[in-house]
Amino acid sequence: MSRKPSRVFSRVLATAAPVIAGALFLAAPAAAPMAGPSYQAAATAAPPVLPGYWEYTTSALGQRDTETKCVRPSEINRFFGGLSTRHYQCTYPVRQVGNGNARFEGNCVSRSGRQARVRLNGTYQAEQFSFRGGASVKAAGIWSPFIPATITARRIAAQCPANAEYF
């Protein structure tokens, strides 16, 4: 058996994993309204988190990053609705939010065709959330093991400062 796919996979994973994990998790994701029969009811209910000025920290592959963003009411679903970013378009067949707990699993594809599988779960309140999970990337036709990651976020203020960066 040739070792070439293994070497290619290792090289791609070593160079791409931090970039992919960072791109996926820096969007301050969490879960979206429940899928299934109660989706309509959940979609019309109050959002699970409040708009305002948020600080969020992501950790993946030993790298930790903290950012602050202003989240408008119109952006809450995107902010708390999954991991689509400007680099990755994601879909989540599994979306469960309720009673302070959230879980989702989905698939993401970058503009260049890179694929990733994402799993996150954790707890939330109106002004904070904490999720653990990870992502698996496809390289050389092989899925990597899940790369662990965490996301914690807290609402700093209801109003954003004048110089705030928007989500």
Angle at 149 between CA 64 and CA 43, to 5 degrees: 110
**Mean pLDDT on 76-98:** 76
What's this model's pTM, rounded to 2 decimal places? 0.68
Amino acid at 104: F
Whether residue 164 is contained in a domain is answered as: no
Whether residue 114 is contained in a domain is answered as: yes
Q: How many structural domains comprise the chain?
A: 1
Give the closest residue to 81 by CA, choosing from 66, 71, 67. Answer: 71
Share of the chain above pLDDT 90, in %: 36
Instruction: Give the per-residue pLDDT at 84.
Output: 59
Domain housing 14:
4-157
For 8-33, how does the pLDDT look when each residue is reduced to its tens digit (9 = 90+)?
334 434 434 443 344 344 343 433 33
